[in-house]
Amino acid sequence: MVMPTSTPPSDPGAAATSTEPHPSADSDSVKRKMNEAKAAAKSAFATMTERFGEIREYASYYFSTKTDALKNKITMLAIYAVLGIVAGVVGLAVLATAGVLLVRGIAEALGAAFGKQWLGDLVTSVGLLVLLAGGAFIGLKVLSGTFKRKLMAKYEQRHQEQRERFGTDVFQRSREAQQQEG
């Protein structure tokens, strides 16, 4: 005798005891899970959108503070530059006035000593021109001597380095070339 292994699905009693899930239960579960996933995605997207907006605002705030700090620094530099220029102009005016008063005092003192004011003015102006020319001449001599010493020391150092690296320097090579020609 052959026993049936399963009951046909048309039997209402057999359907209740079957271990297979009901097809409509599967689709409800899938729909519910899909709806949960959609809700989670919407929530995550909303949170992400809020966070991007927040990050964008914070970045804008950061760059705004950096820009304002740079503008403030430039403004302060401009103010200090103007103050420096004004101080320089005032300083030069004070020095010029002091120089004029000194020269004028020397000229008047010499004019009183010679008994003629024009002679005091002449001697003072010629004396100042001679002092300025002499100072300029001596200053140029000192500067040119200083520059020459610095250049000589610089090139002597290079010659020393050449001798250390190559065993000879540019002057020695030049003399060798001249001897080969001659």
Q: If you average pLDDT over every residue of the chain, what do you get?
A: 87
pLDDT of the residue at 89: 98
Dihedral Cα 46, 52, 54, 56, nearest 10 deg: -150
User: Which CA distances in Å does 103 have to 108, 126, 131, 135, 144?
Assistant: 9, 12, 13, 17, 31
CA distance 127 to 102: 13
Which has the higher per-residue pLDDT, 113 or 44? 113
If pLDDT is split at 50, 70 and 90, which confidence band does 52 have?
A: confident
User: Which CA distances in Å does 54 have to 43, 45, 46, 58, 73?
Assistant: 16, 14, 12, 6, 29
pLDDT of the residue at 24: 63
- pLDDT tens digits for 107-145? 999 999 999 999 999 999 999 999 999 999 999 999 999
- pLDDT tens digits for 10-24? 554 444 454 555 556
- Residue 37 CA, chain-centre distance (Å), reads 51
Phi-psi region of 167 (alpha: psi -120 to 50; beta: other; left: phi over 0): left
Percent of the chain with pLDDT over 70: 86
Predicted TM-score (pTM) of the model is 0.47
CA distance 137 to 160: 35
What average pLDDT score do residues 38-59 get?
Answer: 83
Which has the higher per-residue pLDDT, 160 or 18? 160
CA distance 132 to 129: 5
Do 105 and 121 meet the contact criterion of CB atoms below 8 Å apart?
no
Count CA atoms closer than 13 A to 131's CA, side-chain side.
7
